[in-house]
Amino acid sequence: ADTETTASAPPDTPATTDTAPTTDTAVPDPERTREPDLGVGDDLFPDLGSSDVDVQSYLVRLTVDPSRDEIDGIVTIEAEIADDIAVMPLDQIGLDVDQVAVDGDEAEFELTDTELLVELPPDVASVVTVRIEYSFVPNGATSAVGLPSGWFVNAATDDSYVLNEPDGARSWMPSNDHPSDKAKWTFEVTVPPGTTAAANGELIARTSVDGDDVWIWAEFEPMPTYLVQLIVGSYEVVVADPVELASGREVPLTHVVPAGERTVFEAAFESIGPQMDFFEARFGPYPLERYGLAFVNDLSGLAMETQGRSMFGADDFAPEAPEFLQELLLSHELAHQWFGNAVSPATWGDIWLNESLATYAQWLWLDEAGLQPLDDFAAEMLARRQVDGESTGDPSVSELFGFLRYDGGAPIVHALRLTMGDDPFFELLSDWVADNADTSRTTDDFIDLATEVHRSDLTAFFDAWLFAGDLPDEYPS
Ligand code: ARG
Ligand code: ZN
């Protein structure tokens, strides 16, 4: 993961797309005959990612011209690949691929329903740079998990955004589209003059090239595909004063708001400090370098923990909108920066580590804010939780982001807290993040750490709560 990346081009020059591969000492198999794995072994999404590919960096260059139906892209991927595979598989659905190069040389490729298969030269090193020139027609839609997924355009305003979780990224960019593979990212988005393009991380440059605007953003903290943020349209980037935390730390803030409307979101901006202080006291230091809030048009009742800058629907934060939902969404997405972003799920079946922990954090904050008493609500949700057959720890695709992972999953976290006691419980959560930041972990990893902190076996607890369809009638006392 320490290899030089194409993404480290100086900020003021548009990043180059073809660089020599990093010298590698592994001796490649001259045969390169093995068929690659077309998945990482994710039971719920067998065709996502590949265990033969480990991406180090993505450079995503997009040209978004609202007068055209298509968006053009050039994605350059630096990846470590297995020594013996004949072709390198990437995830894609419905992309129109024009040209592929491996280490600067044009390469043969094949498109299947879910993959881009790139032929590898037999003598290629185990770190390769693959450049894919392609186009796609934005086709955001409801995915198999019942959530909006992919690239969404409002035909009337030309505004667009992406929602990727869990598998929307492959509908607009070739990638190793799985949360187990984190990489560094650079985004370079060309748009008509006056249009804004925002992505994760730091705004490196906003330049003008041939009359178009080019926005360059860099996110060098390891990030999987599902946490990518891309927002294009009539928006304003607000580089705000850093938030000063009780811990003494200053966290840089960059927000994105509909053009001219920043004052509408002032209260939301102000919520960051108190919420971060509250979570730092319980989960340990805020785990990323920066934060911010992005408010987009044409989204409501739903938010996304896009890494380092959470995304919300602007309408949910209109002056007359209910405060309760705002506090819920703001605290939930902020908590995900610890649970989901710093530590990501190793497979989609581990999603309760994201959603049940973030929901519990949200419960804690709503209690703190006097909006929802914790004990009453926990009791109510435990009662409501009894109706379903599926366990929280073993989800199905269609229910992946359903009740059992959210308000129906947080009771398990509450029960764990009551079983362990407050101090060990919060020690577990902060150790979980401190020990595993920048990686992707399994439910078993979490159970092992819980057992270690508890100094006593918790198998019976997790069997009765996390892996059971029916939960116990009452919380442990
Ligand atoms: N992870 C999000 C949240 O709970 C929900 C999923 C949104 N994903 C999507 N494709 N719309 O905060
Ligand atoms: Zn969530």
103 alpha carbon to ligand 1 midpoint, in Å? Answer: 36
303 lines ligand 1 (CB under 6 A): yes
- pLDDT score recorded for residue 387: 73
C-alpha 474/C-alpha 453 separation (Å) is 24
Q: Is the ipTM of this complex over 0.90?
A: yes
Tell me the per-residue pLDDT of 198-222, one tens digit each, with 9 for 90 and over.
Answer: 999 999 999 999 999 999 999 999 9
What mean pLDDT comes out for the span 163-185? 98
Q: Report the nearest-CA residue for atom 1 of ligand 1.
A: 304
pTM for this structure? 0.94
> Which one has a higher pLDDT value, 328 or 31?
328
At residue 110, does pLDDT exceed 50?
yes
401 Cβ inside 6 Å of ligand 1:
yes
Report which bound ligand comes closest to the CA of 304.
Answer: 1
Q: Could you tell me which of 138, 142, 154 has the C-alpha nearest to residue 297?
A: 154
User: Cα of 215 to ligand 1 centre, how many Å?
Assistant: 26
d(CA 181, CA 39): 12
Cα–Cα distance, 209 to 213 (Å, whole number): 6
The predicted pLDDT at position 70 comes to 98
**Dihedral pair phi/psi, residue 457, rounded to 5°:** -65, 135
Q: Does ligand 1 lie within 6 Å of residue 163's CB atom?
A: yes
Q: Which atom of ligand 1 is nearest to the CA of 145?
A: 10
Q: Which residue's C-alpha comes closest to atom 12 of ligand 1?
A: 304
Q: Is 332 in the pocket of ligand 1 (CB under 6 A)?
A: yes
Confidence of residue 161 (pLDDT cuts 50, 70, 90): very high
Q: Which region among 27-31, 66-70, 258-262, 319-323 has the lowest average model confidence (pLDDT)? A: 27-31
Q: Answer yes or no: is the C-beta of 92 below 6 A from any ligand 1 atom.
A: no
Which atom of ligand 1 is the closest one to the Cα of 168? 10
From the CA of 359, which ligand is nearest?
2
Per-residue pLDDT tens for 10-68?
A: 344 444 444 444 555 555 556 899 999 999 999 999 999 999 999 999 999 999 999 99
pLDDT at 14 (0 to 100)? 40
Q: Is the CB of 304 under 6 A from ligand 1?
A: yes
- Please give the full DSSP string across 43-110, using - where no structure is assigned: SS-TTSS-TTEEEEEEEEEEE--TTSS-EEEEEEEEEEE-TTBSEEEEE-SS-EEEEEEETTEEE-EE
pLDDT at 12: 41
* Ligand 2 centre distance from Cα of residue 144 (Å): 17
Is 388's pLDDT higher than 80? no
Structure token pair of residue 98: 């024009």
Reply yes or no on whether the pLDDT at 3 is more than 70.
no
Q: Average the pLDDT over 3-11 and give the result.
A: 38
Which ligand 1 atom is at minimum distance from the Cα of 303?
Answer: 12
DSSP string, 161-183: EEE-TTTTGGGTS-B--STT--E
* Residue 269, pLDDT above cutoff 70: yes
Q: How confident is the model at residue 7 (pLDDT cuts 50, 70, 90)?
A: very low
Which ligand gives the minimal distance to the CA of 161?
1
Pocket test for ligand 1, best of 151, 397, 401 (most atoms within 8 A of CB): 401
Q: How far is the CA of 418 from the centre of ligand 1 (A)?
A: 28
Percent residues over pLDDT 70 in the chain = 94
Q: Which atom of ligand 1 is nearest to the CA of 355?
A: 4
Percentage of residues in the chain having pLDDT higher than 90: 92
DSSP class of 457:
-
Q: In the prediction, which pLDDT does 4 show?
A: 36
